[in-house]
């Protein structure tokens, strides 16, 4: 989708994939700068490590605790994060509602993606947030950081196996799966059908050629559903606009991804 946007705009450069071993991120960034790269996207597992090699990290990336977009500017390397803002736009596009109006429950909140989305919820002004993870130990430092970010939000934590999860989950407006469950064929839904009620919105950051088990279950329960492709498109478009200010890549990206 990035190359399609470049071609549509008549920008004569290539978007390429590079595999970088953990521990060599700084070396890779230095080499890219030498070779005249404009910037790059950063995927797992490098989103945390790359922060230490950016001369400037914007406020949103600092709040989210990770960098997914790097821009090589004159004399400096700038790190930013478009995942959170891309998520906000995806929820608005898919469900026609502003994120800040919703009570949000995030499954897989201990991982990098879950932490970033939780932080974005607070940046947007969400008033009630529930973090769910297989192990609670991973959530305590996350909660401490989130409280520093916005003390006005009611933040709860639950283990995925907690027997009260089903009852509590049904009281939330938006359910987000930020874990990787559903990526592998044959995996069960990350939440049981008992956790869902008609009228909820369910957003699964995992995207496949067919709906994930969670989205199938949610649709059967009468929930509004969407997968992570919309977030993928929006975060990509926001990164593109950082590299090429004034550009409008969204339509080309949508067509290419479709």
The CA-based dihedral angle spanning residues 6, 12, 13, 15, taken in that order and rounded to the nearest 10 degrees: 30
- The H or E element that residue 229 is part of is helix 229-243
The answer to whether 179 touches 208, Cβ cutoff 8 Å, is no
Catalytic one among 47, 127, 138, 210? 47
DSSP structural state of residue 138: G
107 phi and psi, to 5 degrees?
A: -95, 135
Q: Give the tokens for residue 9.
A: 């705009």
Residue 54: CB atoms within 10 Å: 18
Q: Give the tokens for residue 149.
A: 């970010």
Active site residue 47: yes
Long-range contact list for 70-74, CB < 8 A, 24+ apart? 70/29, 70/39, 70/40, 70/41, 70/42, 71/38, 71/39, 71/242, 71/243, 72/32, 72/33, 72/37, 72/38, 72/39
The residues assigned a catalytic role are 47
């Amino acid at each position: 989708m990035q190359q399609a946007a470049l071609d549509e705009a008549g920008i004569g450069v290539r978007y390429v994939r590079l595999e970088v071993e953990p521990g060599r991120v700084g070396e890779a960034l230095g080499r890219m700068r030498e070779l005249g790269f404009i910037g790059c996207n950063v995927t797992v597992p490098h989103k945390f490590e790359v922060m230490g090699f950016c001369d400037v990290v914007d406020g949103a990336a600092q709040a989210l605790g990770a960098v997914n977009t790097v821009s090589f500017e004159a004399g400096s390397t700038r790190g930013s994060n478009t995942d959170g803002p891309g998520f906000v736009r995806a929820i608005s596009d898919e469900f026609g509602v502003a994120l800040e109006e919703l009570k949000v429950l995030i499954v897989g909140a201990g991982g990098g993606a879950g932490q970033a989305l939780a932080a974005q919820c607070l940046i947007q002004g969400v008033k009630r947030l529930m973090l769910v993870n297989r192990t609670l130990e991973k959530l305590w430092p996350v909660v401490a950081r989130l409280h520093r970010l916005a003390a006005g939000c009611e933040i709860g934590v639950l283990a995925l196996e907690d027997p009260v999860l089903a009852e509590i989950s049904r009281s939330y407006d938006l359910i987000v799966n930020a874990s990787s469950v559903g990526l592998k064929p044959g995996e069960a839904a990350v939440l049981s059908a008992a956790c869902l009620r008609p009228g909820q919105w369910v957003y699964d950051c995992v995207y496949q050629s067919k709906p994930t088990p969670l989205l199938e279950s949610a649709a059967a329960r009468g929930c509004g559903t969407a997968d992570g492709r919309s977030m993928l498109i929006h975060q990509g478009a926001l990164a593109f606009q950082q590299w090429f200010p004034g550009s409008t890549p969204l339509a080309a990206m949508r067509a290419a991804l479709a």
